[in-house]
A and B are shown apart, each in its own frame.
Chain A
Amino acid sequence: MLTMENVTKQYTRRRHEIIGLRNANLRIDNGEFVAIVGPSGSGKSTLLLMLGGMLSPSSGRVCVDGQSIYDLSVNGRAALRKQKIGFVFQTFNLVPYLSALQNVQVPLYLAGLVDGQQTGIATRLLERVGLGDRLDHKPSELSVGQQQRVALARMLANDPKIILADEPTGNLDPETGSNILEFFAELNAEGRTVVMVTHDARAAAVRATRTMRIVDGSIQPHNAQELLSPLPQLQPAMQ
């Protein structure tokens, strides 16, 4: 379970104070698929980074399974991420000089698995995302869709209970994006908690079990289902 209690995040940029999050309260239960929508600069990414233990709040508490994560040391938070959290990035963030297989092996190495175990698990994960024949390809030798699938396989390597995805379909064509969202739904069906930041409210509405909206750092409930109703017919402006 992920919770935020009265969380505020303030930045100072060029002597101007910016509010990233304003007195935010949030509770995401295990197994939920939550989509967070909002315009650019609204604080979506700030929220996701805080939930992942990578950005400490100015005030308030962020808890994962009841543990206040910013009361942990830096390495303690790294260990928590390694055990429970999987990140998916908009630009995939694959290590460019490692092959697809080696990219997926990275979290397994960090978890302390020996080489043979790493290779076995990484191969199975890449086969699961349909890249069993591209194990030795570097990211530059893969299409963007394939790169995102490698990133998904890497995210799954440490079998995370919580998946934090930042605009995972932002760089993909609609068909590939749809496949990726379907994959997230599949992971959610396995019992994993998915928190996805997106500006595509319609996509969020299709797959997410709950949608929230951030406006100027404030979290608001959002009824995305209305987005799924047919668009009204436009009347011709002039006969």
Chain B
Amino acid sequence: MPTPTEHGRPDPETTTLARSRDGRPVSDRGDTVCVIGAGASGLTALKNLAEHGFGVDCYERETGIGGAWNWRHDRSPVYASTHLISSRPFTQFPDFPMPDDWPDYPHHSQLLSYFERYADHFDLRRHIWFGTEVVRVEPVADDRWDVTTRSTGGYGPERTSRYAAVMIANGHNWSPKLPRYDGLAEYRGEVMHASSYKDPAQLRGKRVLVVGAGNTGCDIAVEAAQQASRCWHSTRRGYWYAPKYVFGRPADQVNDTLLALRVPLRVRQWLYHRTLRLTVGDLTRFGLPKPDHRVYETHPIANSQLVYYVGHGAITPVSDVTRFHAHSVELADGRQIDPELVVFATGYLPRFEFLDAKILGDDEEVGRPRLWLNAFVPNHPTLAVAGLVQPDSAIFPLAHWQAVLFARLLRLRTTRPERAAAFAARVSTGAGERYSGQVKDSTRHWFEVGHVDYLRALERALRDLEGK
């Protein structure tokens, strides 16, 4: 057995055969597949493509793996207390279990160590060019791709390599989405996006307004309840705040028991409402708005502590923000509050700045590609996106199966081209399909998926592809 001990960088032979459109030399990487990003989705893409026999090159702008989950990275959105909101069985890669003595909801540092072990176990680092960012990805003849890279930060020369296929795994939780408000420029207090929130010390002793009721917004509101002198939590509408444990088990495990039994959505919604009513009770008594939708119709919020602190008066729920003044904030109900610090937990936007937006079907350039299974690109059979899903559970197993499907598709392009062609036709007809029940405000949550709906669709695609 050859010894896989060297841990150097990959070393593409520079067989300069071709030139790019503007005449620069291109090193041809043959059948190698390019993976963009070495976060969770990129790592599983690397592992599964290599397992299917492909050569792989991965470009990572940071100097370590883990992407968003590596707190050392500039673009990492994690804060000191970040914990998973899905329990272990839903979070781990299907073929690499997390240690079973870890807690049900591991901490972000444990998740990073899990990805580090995954990378070492499958010897993935040797495929990764660290400190290298992708500048451009351009289609060339025969469904191949020219990928232009340079050192992160723009130092050094650009170099272009030609690949048989590209899997994009650049993540979607790094480009902050900031809402626009009248008067925000004149506001004299401190304003930050949740992406720069790292530690509860940033809130200590201050009057804090947290805007947004995503999982991050709720976490920050809870920390503000413990650290700040005052905490307002502004939400656009009422939400269902699901506890992390029900009936003595992690809530998502109880939910999947119902899914395994194929209990219809309406019945699950009824059971869920009933359970919340019996445990948390009616939230409108705290001044929280009544949800205007049924449960499962928005991205789930798993937070047992928010309601607890609202009940202790440590969090004051308030309505939407309408405008800012120099020393106060005006709310939709006309009230004025006077926070010193405003934290916008208003989410992130996916961005693919290295790629012509039209390639992904995002004709209006609003960051909303038109894909099948949120991964496959019409008319570009050798391009796929990993991890561009917002499931009601963890992304990692979904990204794993996206990579497996892409790897098998690429393999069948040579062995059974007719099957690959049928798949391509399916991609074109199915682009834009949704994989969840009815979703409130679905233009904003366009990549929201139900994990079981999505995985069932992917399983079908895998079986159709292989004719089984």
Check if A and B associate: no
